[in-house]
Chain A
Amino acid sequence: MGTDAGTVAPAPGRRYTGAIVTDKISELVLARPMHWGFMVGFALASALTLLLLVAISYLFARGVGIWGVNQPVAWAFALTNFVWWVGIGHAGTFISAFLLLLRQHWRTSVNRFAEAMTIFAVAMAGLMPILHLGRPWFFYWLIPYPNVMNTWPQWRSPLVWDIFAIATYIIVSLLFWYMGLIPDLASLRDRARTRRQQIAYGLFALGWRGEARHWHRFETAYLLMAGLATPLVVSVHTVVSLDFSFGLVPGWHSTIFPPYFVDGALYSGFAMAIVLAVPMRAVFKLKDFITEKHLAKMGTLMLVTGLILAYSYGVEVFNAFYSGDRYEIAMIENRYFGPYAPLAWSVILCNVVIPQALWSTRLRHTPLALFALGIVVLVGMWLERFVIIVASLERDFLPSSWHMFYPTFWDLATLAGSIGAFALLFLLFLRFLPAISMSELRKEVREQPIPASHA
């Protein structure tokens, strides 16, 4: 089936067929066309991944004292990164599972890479609480297993629920992703050019041969997984938010946290999906599949989740004053007028003010502008989690123990490194696995033809 990557597209004005779709997308992983943008991204991501490895090694050698954490701010960057990364994963599941149940056909072009984004983001998230443990080699004590200490996990603690939620989330996301990949791996096996590719893809395809009865069971299982993943994704960030709201710290102890966190999670996730999609479609020439319409829809979802988030910010302030609780009021005053006020106002600017530009239809159809907005929202969401965690802890109930948190080099290195490792995993995914579901797209082009434009 060898054709040059450049020629695998219909002439402009013609329509894509199942054959062309398969050839074009499988070409990206079988022929692996080189592009300078990919090389630059790969070099940068590899360098940051090395930085992460150094930061983790030094942390394991010296302990959490290398970070800026201390009493009363015992939770800072690691927990902020954790909440931020889990949240980013949520949009991937939302796109692949929830939109499948709603029969939103546009998801077909974006679900595969969004699921990959979920898995890599949750992997980064899972790393953070383990790094944050003083004795990370005992992390498995959270899991109920028969042990010589004759102890059990404390089931009434959200931190125990956390490990159940995160572990379930990553396993289910991985299964959902892999299951969707099986027919595509079979396509790659059948189109492989070298023996090595054929064996590797063939093993992972598990002998899939596209039998009609197999497809029937496959579709049933896929729908069931989507139905299971949809409530799961809501439960995961709910449990993450309960880690905070079960505490008595003003600014954490609030019943609005679960919906507020889930919505913020989707918001940052759509932002990340846009930030990944815009360069990907340009570098790999996928503009006919991931069109400006797809990006605009994700932009709309970002606007909606952003508005819900803005409402939550308002409710948070209102509730503090409405409760009359002096500690809650002091927390809000401290957040917006205390030492971390510049960060708190940056959150408002990044998450509430600037994204209002999404009301403009023209902007929603301008990929570069969406990309920039995505970055702004990602920064805003990271800062939001930081402000919630650190600004609330910094003013303890006893003024004598008030203490500011300042990040050290190793705090920043862990954050930057995790972004690098995430990017590296994503770039490797683009190299070795089809970025768009070929089997779903084959069905799609028959029902709703995709016209070819600039290829």
Chain B
Amino acid sequence: MNADCYALMAEFGDPAALIAAVSECRKRHRDVDAYTPYAVDGLPEALGFTRNRVPLITLIAGVLGGAGIYALQWYSAVVDYPINSGGRPLNSWPVFIPPTFEMTVLAAAIAAFLGMLFLNGLPRLNHPVFNVDEFDLASRNRFFLCVRSSDPEFDLDRTRDFLRGLQPLRIIEVPA
């Protein structure tokens, strides 16, 4: 653990090189991040990240949204404000379906969006990686590998040597 250093960053020119470097790096280090300009197929797997909880959050919200609006319709039409409309049943479920469907979709979509942000720890406007000038290219055409100093095996010199062996375009020290 090093107090002045957040991580060591290695810059690569193409995604295949990054994936290979990530796989190599993960054999020695635990706290490894990768930054890319687009969603690179196979990279999450190389990082050992294959499942996320966005679908579960979306499902729960969708079910709650649909059940909630159906319950509201049932309560208002059967209990609170019953209207006898041509002797039809008060709980006339077929006509309650359109709002139920719409609210299921609305709740699920909002949950998918907010759930994604929440699990990603966003919005977070500042982050140590932004202190690196070259990191601007992570949203353009460069691929970055990051070994955080919180990693138990992290040592500024030894990790730098190791990263050099992966043949990146450059190695950058990220200040904390």
Contacts and interface: CB of A to CB of B under 8 A. Distances in A.
Interface stretch (A78-86, A182-190, A273-281): A182-190
Interface string B115-136: 1110110111111011000011
A429 to B, nearest CB: 20
A229 B117 CA distance: 19
Range for the number of chain A residues in contact with chain B: 35 or more
B112 A156 contact: no
In this complex, which of A154, A155, A220, A225 has the most chain B Cβ atoms within 10 angstroms of its Cβ? Answer: A155
Given A144-B76, A152-B80, A220-B116, A232 B105 contact: yes
**Secondary structure call for the A interface:** helix
B55 A225 contact: no
B85 A156 contact: yes
B156 to A, nearest CB: 22
B140 A22 contact: yes
A164 B104 CA distance: 11
Contacts of B139: 22, 183, 186-187, 189-191, 210
B37 interface: yes
A231 B115 CA distance: 21
B160 to A, nearest CB: 22
Range for the number of chain B residues in contact with chain A: 35 or more
A218 B109 CA distance: 13
A191 B136 contact: yes
Given A155-B99, A156-B92, A440-B38, A168 B116 contact: no
B108 A224 contact: yes
B99 A212 contact: no
B43 interface: yes
Given A187-B140, A217-B54, 13 more contacts: A156-B85, A172-B105, A172-B106, A187-B139, A190-B140, A206-B117, A209-B127, A209-B129, A224-B58, A225-B112, A239-B98, A242-B98, A442-B38
Those 3 A-B pairs whose CB atoms lie nearest each other, nearest first: A206-B123, A221-B116, A19-B141
21 contacts: A22-B139, A151-B81, A156-B95, A168-B105, A172-B106, A172-B109, A175-B110, A190-B136, A207-B127, A210-B37, A210-B139, A212-B35, A212-B43, A212-B49, A214-B120, A215-B43, A216-B44, A221-B112, A225-B109, A225-B112, A228-B62
